[in-house]
Structure 1
Amino acid sequence: MHGEDVHLAEIERQIAATAAKLRELIEQSASHVAAMSEELVGQRIDDQAARLEILIRRRDELLRARSGED
């Protein structure tokens, strides 16, 4: 596997993990709002959503660069 392929695979792994964490946080917010501060849950969701957006952008940039090399 080329270095770029490994980097892309790692970004894909991070995207999947971050998306799973985001889903988990959203589910928790629905069932545990009484136990946790709504503000804290909201901030954690926002943080994960921002991370997911960054990772997707990085992946898309790598894919565009790769398609330009073909």
Structure 2
Amino acid sequence: MQLHCYPATLSSIRAFGAPLICAACGDRLIAPMASAFVEGGEIRHYWECEACGATSSSSIALDRREPGRREE
């Protein structure tokens, strides 16, 4: 058996959803600096651009249905 090693590149790293772009400089935002659960069913991510230092936030609304239960 032969071992193959391929170093990861930015293009091969999978993002959850569409990648975010810095509004100030256009650089790609890879990972949030912090994340928080907000009461009412929302996850908020706080971002800081490594290229220019601009800060921003994004939020994801959680599905409020119970796991395994279908809406009718």
Indicate the TM-score class for this superposition, using the shorter chain for normalisation.
Answer: under 0.3
TM-score, structure 1 normalization: 0.25
Pick the structure with more strand per residue.
Answer: 2
Pick the structure with more helix per residue.
Answer: 1
Flag the structure with larger Rg: 2
TM-score, structure 2 normalization: 0.24
Say which structure, 1 or 2, has more relative contact order (CA 8 Å, 6+ apart): 1
